[in-house]
Structure 1
Amino acid sequence: MKRATPALTALMLALALTACSKGGKPEDGKDAAAKTAAPLLVAPEDVRQVTQSGLIGAPVITGAIQPARRADLRAEVAAVVLQVAKDNGERVRTGDLIIRLDPTAIRDSLTSAEEALRAAQQSFEQTERVLARQRTLNQQGMISMQGLEDAEVRRNAAQSELAAAKARVVTARQQVSRTEVRAPFDGVVSERKISVGDTVQVGRELIKVIDPNSMRFEGQISADRLGELKVGQPVAFRINGFGDAEFRGKLARIDAAANATTRQVEVAAEFDDRSKAPQVAGLYAEGRVESADRRALVLAEGSIQRQGDAAFVWKLAGSQLKKVTVTLGERDDRRGEVVITSGLALGDSVLRNPSGSLVDGATVQRVAAGAGAASAVAGATPAAPVASNAASK
């Protein structure tokens, strides 16, 4: 029998050690990956809560942000525009001059009316003195009763003319005051429609003033959903120009008549926090009236993953990550939310945007906000550490 060479002996020993190192009971691949992988680092921004909402399927309101206090100032006299003191966007206080019209012709009318009033006053005083003398003479029997009655008629006619002259003066003064267009309340000029030199007629729109502190959501809702509406119901809406920011309010008014053409009903919702309301009128907005009868568990669609017909989420259960199958209900395209009919409970924590190769049962380690957990979740793999800082350790 040949004795083994030293090189052959060393090779056999290496193979034996390798076999021993692979001996023992084999582990399931998933369990092994969960045990060997470094903890999954999760920051607060990587997690969202399962919430409850009554907005999905609720009546939809479309409209715009409008001020409750607004005034369309129109010309009350025909004249030429001499001055425009305020322009679009400028703030005004009650009584501030905004527009001045040419008062020349109207002042001439006032002067004429005042002169007519002076003449009427003198005529009335003259007929009063004549009537007093006629009464004295009548008592002395020096004139007939007919003469006294004629004097009373002339006095009454002069008195009527005096009253008419006073009214003409008041009217003329009002016309003069109407050549100065002033702010009816504290607010902002929203739309100027005339310029210096324009000739305006009675009734022409000159300028609009709004109160930016009275903004509210005014919109229309289908008359078919009118039975679900009540004053005071919560309203959630988004405004064009403010991204995904959600505003909250309460239904303040429901019109008593529907539009004959569109069959929609006008409604208005007040902001819960007026300080957060936009200061610009006319912005498009869209929202829903929240209904207590429709409250359900909802979750943003980004947290839900699909595999064939099945849907699941990654739930944080203590220090472990669990893959939970869920049953989905109605979807809200506007809000990007889906009703969860089974699988989760109110307040459950799930990964906000799961991606990569996550492992059911993996260990979870919560870290402070901004610690880079978002990138760790995205790059997690079952066979390697998920965070670079954990791997370096």
Structure 2
Amino acid sequence: MNKIFIGLVGLAFSLSAGEVYATFNVLAQKSASLAFDAGGIVERVNVDISDTVKKGEVLASLENRDAKANLESAKVVYKYAQKDYERQQKVKNLIDASEFDAYALKYESAKAKLDYTQSLFDKTYLRAPFDGVIFFKEIEVGDTVNGMMLKTVFKIQSKHERKLVLEFDQKYYKDVKVGNKFQYKIDGEDTVYTGVISKIYPLANKNNRKVQAEVKAKDLMVGLFGDGTIITQSK
């Protein structure tokens, strides 16, 4: 069988029937840019670059004494509005409907105000959206945050989960299927890894005539690149 030798970035694979050459970049499976959705002065910064965080963990917080006071006030108003409403429910049949509706309106308004002030208070805390590791930080205690102009202060990515974003010639788009094996090397390494195609993008790049696909991986450094072969037929 005649074999075609194809190389990229110093790596070489010999292709035969049932194999498709592909290059790839390593990306985090999850990645997000984080910003405060409120304005104020940064009071605490709890993490730094390379720190591992859990979903919901507070990464930083704004000075929030005013927001906390408003929240406590709203809780008190809601508490007594609820008590009034519950008392009126017990004698609903003995009072005028409009009078009962007035208590119901007061109760519902107090509940809505409490929800609103709670949301404002919550926005003074910036929390991790998922388990991951911080790889970018641009915030310090004392910084002023402008709620009208969102600015990324942290970037987070999944700690272990990675995806290889593959590119291969569009003429093979009918041959490559989800579930196909992908044998690959990282640029500069000799180790051959094996993965499985988990996703094929439903669009060919009109500029380079390439189709993209994904392979799940773990613990590779984000930003690495390499090449390999997609096995499209059983051997």
TM-score normalised by structure 1 residue count: 0.48
SS in 1 for 2:61: strand
**Structure 2: 5+ residue runs without aligned partners?**
1-12
Corresponding residue for 1:173?
118
Corresponding residue for 1:285?
226
- Tell me which structure has the larger Cα radius of gyration: 1
- Partners of 1:289 and 1:87 lie apart in 2 by 39
- Partners of 1:56 and 1:102 lie apart in 2 by 64
Corresponding residue for 2:10?
none
| 1:69 and 2:39 are equivalent in the alignment | no
Change (3 A) 1:114 1:56: same
TM-score normalised by structure 2 residue count: 0.75
- Partners of 1:190 and 1:78 lie apart in 2 by 24
Any residues of structure 2 matched to 1:105-124 within 5 Å, and which?
105-118=66-79, 120-121=81-82, 124=85
Equivalent pairs counted in the alignment come to 221
Any residues of structure 2 matched to 1:106-185 within 5 Å, and which?
106-118=67-79, 120-121=81-82, 124=85, 128=88, 132=91, 135=94, 151-185=96-130
Corresponding residue for 1:255?
201
Give the conservation status (yes or no) of the 8 Å contact 1:234–1:249.
yes
Corresponding residue for 1:230?
177
Runs of 4 or more above 6 Å deviation: none
Give the conservation status (yes or no) of the 8 Å contact 1:60–1:221.
yes
Give the conservation status (yes or no) of the 8 Å contact 2:177–2:232.
no
- If asked which structure has higher relative contact order (CA below 8 Å, sep 6+), I would say 2
1:163-217 CA-to-partner distances (Å, cap 9, x unmatched) read: 1211221232233233222334432112224333141426543322222321221
- Partners of 1:164 and 1:114 lie apart in 2 by 12
- Partners of 2:91 and 2:144 lie apart in 1 by 56
SS in 2 for 1:227: coil
What's the CA shift for 1:218?
1.6
Any residues of structure 2 matched to 1:29-44 within 5 Å, and which?
none
What's the CA shift for 1:133?
10
Change (3 A) 1:219 1:82: farther
Corresponding residue for 2:4?
none
1:253-289 CA-to-partner distances (Å, cap 9, x unmatched) read: 1122334655533311124xx4xx42x2122233231
Change (3 A) 1:251 1:120: same
Structure in which a larger fraction of residues adopt strand: 2
Identity of aligned residues (%): 21
CA RMSD after TM alignment = 3.3
**Structure 1: 5+ residue runs without aligned partners?**
1-51, 136-147, 296-393
Structure in which a larger fraction of residues adopt helix: 1
